[in-house]
């Protein structure tokens, strides 16, 4: 994913690292600090029946790092495992391989601000072994490839800062890359700048259904992107300010839905908020990757509230001129707020009421009842 233009300094840029890792205002606005989650019980032992591992950064838990706990769970278990994370900042990269099906990561306090998994790789960051750079997908702080993955009340962050690394021009920096089917995220935060949240699949011929319940996602350029079937219900998308003198500052969504996948991104009853000047952001642009020129991006935003940060006259744009946004499914329905005005109707296609009936969480998720899974996880 590329920036709309090369950034040019507007003013001295204060570091946002502290803001990335706290963000208390955003969490409070969503009510993410309450109620407290029930504490997990049990303690894992080798060969025992318990299915809970506890991680504490001071080493007093079962294991001291998230990755060590993931590695300690069995492959393809007959019963799901839960990894309970004590409050703290876990500076590491985490990979949940395809074999760790049904795994849950749980923040123990109930407040996602208390438990943060963070790293600072960018696409252009050199790998330590000298084999090249990480690339966009490889920059992810957490990569979850397993089906049935669940995360609750956690923060996933990539605190790579452009100002700290002027030598790196490939500035995509992913906080979470999720690839598995039936992936559930409850009251989580995803913090970054460019390419914060990658909702992906293990292969373009596979469908991966992902449900984000009351989550908070922030960034600037294409900060929610990918080819998964991803439903965002009741969340917030925060458009960040940038020290640049051009517009657009960035784009919220960049779907790359594979041609054979019936549904792409759905944002329903969400809030779109902004730190940037009025009209500084586009809502979306289609991403047709060079590796999949047959992609047919799809996005529906409905029943949501938008502040003035969105460009109402031209909310959509092209990523490449040979793939104009009008050739894909970009639709809205029953949105409100200053950012939802429609001064130029041909630039902001709407669903009819009959069409909107086909764009619901149930329609997108099919035989997976994500809401029932959410109730069971509590």
- Three-state DSSP class for residue 132: coil
Catalytic residue (one of 62, 159, 181, 195): 195
- Three-state DSSP class for residue 71: helix
Catalytic residue (one of 120, 159, 200, 222): 222
Q: Tell me if 133 sits within 8 A of 170, measured CB to CB.
A: yes
CA-nearest of 48, 93, 56, 91 to 73 is 48
How far is C-alpha 258 from the geometric centre of its chain's CA atoms? 18
Q: Tell me if 321 sits within 8 A of 291, measured CB to CB.
A: no
Q: Tell me if 110 sits within 8 A of 35, measured CB to CB.
A: yes
What Å distances lie between residue 15 and 88, 196, 217, 243, 306, CA to CA? 21, 17, 19, 12, 27
CA–CA separation, 60 and 184 (whole Å): 29
Q: Is 220 a catalytic residue?
A: no
- Three-state DSSP class for residue 219: strand
- Three-state DSSP class for residue 374: helix
Q: Taking the alpha carbons of 67, 69, 74, 80 in that order, is the dihedral positive or negative?
A: negative
CA-nearest of 311, 226, 300, 312 to 268 is 300
* Other C-beta atoms lying within 10 Å of the C-beta of residue 346: 7
CA–CA separation, 42 and 132 (whole Å): 43
Q: Is 195 a catalytic residue?
A: yes
Give bridge partners of residue 170 from the DSSP assignment. Answer: none
Q: Which residues contact 378 (CB under 8 A, 6 or more apart)?
A: 37, 38
Two tokens, residue 318: 């092209």
* Other C-beta atoms lying within 10 Å of the C-beta of residue 303: 14
Which residues are designated catalytic?
195, 222
């Amino acid at each position: 994913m590329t920036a709309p233009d090369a950034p040019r300094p507007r003013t001295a840029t204060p570091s946002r690292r502290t803001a990335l890792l706290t963000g208390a205002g955003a969490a409070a606005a969503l009510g993410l600090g309450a109620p407290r989650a029930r504490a997990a019980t049990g303690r894992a032992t080798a060969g025992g029946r318990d299915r809970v591992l506890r991680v504490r950064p001071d080493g007093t838990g079962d294991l001291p790092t998230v990755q060590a706990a993931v590695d300690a769970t069995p492959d393809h278990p007959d019963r799901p495992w839960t990894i309970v994370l004590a409050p703290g900042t876990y500076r590491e990269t985490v990979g949940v391989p395809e074999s760790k099906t049904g795994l849950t990561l749980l923040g123990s306090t109930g407040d996602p601000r208390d438990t943060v998994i963070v790293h600072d790789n960018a696409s252009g960051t050199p790998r330590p072994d000298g084999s090249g750079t990480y690339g966009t997908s490889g920059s992810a702080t957490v990569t979850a490839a397993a089906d049935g993955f669940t995360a609750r009340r956690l923060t996933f962050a990539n605190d790579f800062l452009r100002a700290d690394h002027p030598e790196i021009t490939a500035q995509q920096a992913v906080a979470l890359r999720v690839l598995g089917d039936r992936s559930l995220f409850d009251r989580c935060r995803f913090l970054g700048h460019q390419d914060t949240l990658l909702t992906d699949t293990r292969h373009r011929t596979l469908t991966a259904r992902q449900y984000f319940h009351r989550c908070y996602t922030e960034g600037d350029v294409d900060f929610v992107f990918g080819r998964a079937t991803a439903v965002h219900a009741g969340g917030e998308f925060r458009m960040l300010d940038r020290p640049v003198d051009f517009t657009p500052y960035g784009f919220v969504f960049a779907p790359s839905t594979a041609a054979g996948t019936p549904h792409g991104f759905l944002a329903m009853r969400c809030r779109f908020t902004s730190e940037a000047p009025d009209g500084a952001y586009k809502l979306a642009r289609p991403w047709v990757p060079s590796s999949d020129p047959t992609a047919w991006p799809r996005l529906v935003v409905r029943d949501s509230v938008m502040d003035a940060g969105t460009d109402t006259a031209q909310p959509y744009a092209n990523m490449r001129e040979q793939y104009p946004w009008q050739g894909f499914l970009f639709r809205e329905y029953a949105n409100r707020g200053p950012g939802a005005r429609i001064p130029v109707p041909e630039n902001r296609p709407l669903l009819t009421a009959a069409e909107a009936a086909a764009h619901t969480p149930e329609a997108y998720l099919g035989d997976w009842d994500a809401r029932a899974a959410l109730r069971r996880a509590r």
